[in-house]
Amino acid sequence: MFTLKKILSAAAVSASLTIGLSAVVQAQSLGTPINESQLQGFDLIAQPDGSGYPRGSGTAVQGKAIFERRCVTCHGMTGEGTSTNTRLVGGDMQSEERPIRTVGSYWPHASTLFDYVQRAMPADAPKSLTSDEVYQVIAYVLHLNGIIEDSLVLNKETLMQVEMPNKDGFIDSSQAP
Amino acid sequence: MTKQELEKAAANGLINRRHLLGLGLAGMGTVASTSLLGAEAGFNLEIPGWSKQPGANASGYGSRSKFTDDMQRMSGNPNPLYPGGGSSRSPLHQLQGSITPNSLHFERHHAGIPDIDPAQHKLVIHGLVRQPLVFNYEDLLRYPMVSKIYFLECSGNSGSLFGPNPADGSAQSLHGLVSGAEWTGIPLSTLLDEAGVDPEARWINAVGADAASMGRSIPLNRAMNDVMLALFQNGEPVRPGQGYPMRLFVPGCEGNISVKWLTQIKLTREPTHFRDETSKYTDTRLDRKSQQFTFPMGTKSVITAPSGQMKLERQGIYQVTGIAWSGRGSIRRVEVSADGGRTWADAMIDSHQSEKALARFRIPWQWSGGDAVLQSRATDSQGNVQPTRTSLVTEKGNISTYHFHGIQSWAINTAGDVSNVYA
C-alpha cells in the first residue's frame, strides 16, 4: 500500500510537471520578429570593417568649431584634458617613462572614435550631434593627434583607411582560460 | 568559560580554526578571557523601555535600524565635468556572510542611472541571426529562469595597490568594488537560440540603454555558456543602479561586461572594439603590448576585519574574517598569516562554496599587543593561488591598474591601529 501510494503521487507529480513543461516550451518563443531596416536609428555600432557607419562626412577644419563649442569645457582648448581620463591628445606608447595613453597614442582603431563619440559624447548631451558633426569633430581629434591632414574629408570610406599609431599594440586574450 | 588550551595554528597568535566551532569565541573587539558584564562591573540588568510599550507596526517596505544608518556605500562627489560618472563602494568592513544587501551592492556608472519604464524598454537581438527579434519585459518574465549566487567585481577594484606607495585606506575604499548576490534570469543561450545563431557569428556586442550606451563585445562561446539575462537580484527586480529592468550577467568576469540596462545584442564576426574595451579595461604590459578582453577575475581574498583604519582597543582574541572569490572556479582554501606571510594557518570557509561566488572565511587570532601583519591567501578549485603583491606587480607592471588580485597586508601596530602596508 505504502509503495503504491508513493507511485501514485509520483505519477501525479510527473503529470503536473509535463503540463508545466509544455507551457514553458510554448513560452519560449515570445520574441517579435523585426528586420534590420527597422533598427537603423537604433543600432549605433560602428566596427573597424566599416559596418555601421552612417552617411555623412566632415573635415577637421569644420570640426574645430564644433570642438570649441561642444567639447572644450571638459577636454580643454586643444584636447589636453581637464583630468587624466579626458585627455584626448599626445602620449607615446614607447616613451621611456610610463606612457600616456590617449586616442592618439593608444587606440588601435579609428572606428572606436566614431562609435564612442556618437554614442556617448558630449557627456552633458550624448547623441546630440548629427552624423556630419561626428565625422567633423572626430576628424579634428585625429588631426590634433597628427594622424590626418586637416583637409581630409572623413567619411565611411576614408575613416576605414585611417591607420592608428598603436594599431598593432593589442593582444586578444578573449579565449584565455 | 571552561579553561581550554588554544591550539596554535601559525606564528604571532593564529589559533586553530576548529576552536571557532567549540569555543564560542566572541567577535571583534571582545576579549574572550575576561567578562566585562560580570559581577565586578557593578550594575543590575533592568527591563528596557522598548519592552514596555508596543513597537512600530508592520510596514509595506522594510527599512533597517536607525542604529545602523552609518553603514553606507562610499561614493565620489558629483562631478559636472563627468555627469553621472563614478562608483559607490560596498562597506566590506561592516558586512558579514557572502551576500551583499542590494542597497549596499557596489555600483559603477559611466553616465548615470537611467529611469527606465519597463513597459517601454526593448531588448533587440539581431545581426548574424536567422531572425532578428525584439523582446518586451512582460514576455521575458514568462521564460524559464535560473537562480545562481555569484560575485561581481569591477576590474578597477583594488587598483591603488599597483601604486608605488600604500594608500591610507579601508577595506571599503581599497576593495569595495566587489559584492555578492543571487542573480535570477534567463540563460542567454535560450534567447540566442530563439533568434537562431548564424554559424558565422563569433561575438555578441551588448549595449545598454544608459546615456553612454555602454557597449562591450563578448565571445559567443562564453555568451552561450553561463551568461544570463538577469532580471532579479536577491529575489527582487534588479535595482536601477544595477540595470533595471534587465542586465547582462557574465559570471566570474570583470563587472563592466555585465552590461546594465541591456537593450541590444548584435551578433557579429568581429568584436566592435568599443571604447571601454580598448581605451579602458585593457592591460598594458611592461613590453607595451596591451591585453584586450581579459575577462575572468583572478583568485583573490581580502580580510575585511580587522582592516584598514580600524583600531584594536584591547588585547585578546579577535575573529579575523574576510571574503575570497575566483572568476575561474570555487574557493578551496584560504590561509591567513599574522606575520606578514612567513607562517600560514588554514581559515574556516563558511557555507556554500559555489563557483564564482564569494566565500566567507574566519579564523581566531590572539593579539598580544605586538606588531602584526595580517594577510590572506586564497586557492581556487583550479589550483590557482593568489599571488603576493610583489610578484603580481613585477609581472604586470603598473602602467595599467586593472585586475589587481594580489595579497593585501594589514599592519597592526602596538597601539592597535590597522593600516594598509606593502609587506
Give ipTM to 2 decimals. Answer: 0.92
Distance between CA atoms of residues B87 and B414, nearest Å? 35
Are A48 and B279 inside 8 Å of each other by CB? Answer: no
Residues from chain B that touch A99, judged by Cβ atoms under 8 A, are 284, 288, 399
Question: In chain A, whose CA is at the least distance from the CA of B130?
Answer: A33
Strand, coil or helix: A4 = helix
Residues from chain A that touch B288, judged by Cβ atoms under 8 A, are 93-94, 99, 169
Question: What residues of chain A score a pLDDT lower than 70?
Answer: 1-27
B143 vs A27, A47, A86: nearest CB: A27
Task: Note whether residue A72 is domain-resident.
Answer: yes
The CATH class given to the B118-291 domain equals: alpha beta
Residue B225 in contact with partner chain A when CB distance is under 8 A:
no
Chosen for mutation from A38, A86, A171 (greatest number of chain B CBs closer than 10 Å) is A171
Measured distance between the N- and C-terminal CA atoms of chain A, rounded to whole angstroms: 55
Are B293 and A45 inside 8 Å of each other by CB? Answer: no
- Global pTM reads 0.92
DSSP state of A114: H
Question: In chain B, whose CA is at the least distance from the CA of A49?
Answer: B270
Are B125 and A43 inside 8 Å of each other by CB? Answer: no
- Distance of residue A80 Cα from the nearest chain B Cα, in angstroms: 14
Residue B402 in contact with partner chain A when CB distance is under 8 A:
no
Are A47 and B268 inside 8 Å of each other by CB? Answer: yes
Task: Note whether residue A67 is domain-resident.
Answer: yes
**C-alpha grid cell for residue B41?**
562591573
Task: Note whether residue A45 is domain-resident.
Answer: no
- Our count of domains for chain A comes to 1
Kindly report the CATH number assigned to the domain that includes residue A118: 1.10.760.10
Are B278 and A119 inside 8 Å of each other by CB? Answer: no
Task: Note whether residue A110 is domain-resident.
Answer: yes
Distance (Å) of CA A134 to CA A20, A56, B263, B272, B358:
52, 9, 23, 18, 44
Residue B129 in contact with partner chain A when CB distance is under 8 A:
no
What pLDDT, on the 0 to 100 scale, is given for residue A3? 39
Task: Note whether residue A54 is domain-resident.
Answer: no
Cis before residue B80, ω within 30 degrees of 0? no
What pLDDT, on the 0 to 100 scale, is given for residue B40? 60
Task: Note whether residue A68 is domain-resident.
Answer: yes
What pLDDT, on the 0 to 100 scale, is given for residue A18? 43
Question: In chain A, whose CA is at the least distance from the CA of B264?
Answer: A43
Domain that holds residue A103: 60-161
Question: In chain A, whose CA is at the least distance from the CA of B141?
Answer: A27
Task: Note whether residue A50 is domain-resident.
Answer: no
**C-alpha grid cell for residue B158?**
583594488
Using alpha carbons only, what angle is made at residue B334 by residues B329 and B335, rounded to the nearest 5 degrees? 150
Are A173 and B132 inside 8 Å of each other by CB? Answer: no
Q: Report the run of H or E that residue A9 belongs to, with start and end.
A: helix A2-27
Question: What residues of chain B score a pLDDT lower than 70?
Answer: 1-4, 21-41, 351-352
A126 vs B124, B143, B212: nearest CB: B212
Distance between CA atoms of residues B73 and B70, nearest Å? 9
- For chains A and B, CB pairs below 8 A equal 159
Task: Note whether residue A117 is domain-resident.
Answer: yes
Distance between CA atoms of residues B178 and B408, nearest Å? 15
Q: Which fold has domain B300-421?
A: Immunoglobulin-like (2.60.40)
Are B213 and A120 inside 8 Å of each other by CB? Answer: yes
Residues from chain B that touch A28, judged by Cβ atoms under 8 A, are 143-144, 190, 194
What pLDDT, on the 0 to 100 scale, is given for residue B351? 60
Ranges of CATH 2.60.40.650 domains, chain B: 300-421
Beta strands in B4-137 (DSSP E): 8-10, 14-15, 74-75, 86-89, 107-109, 122-127, 133-136
What pLDDT, on the 0 to 100 scale, is given for residue A15? 41
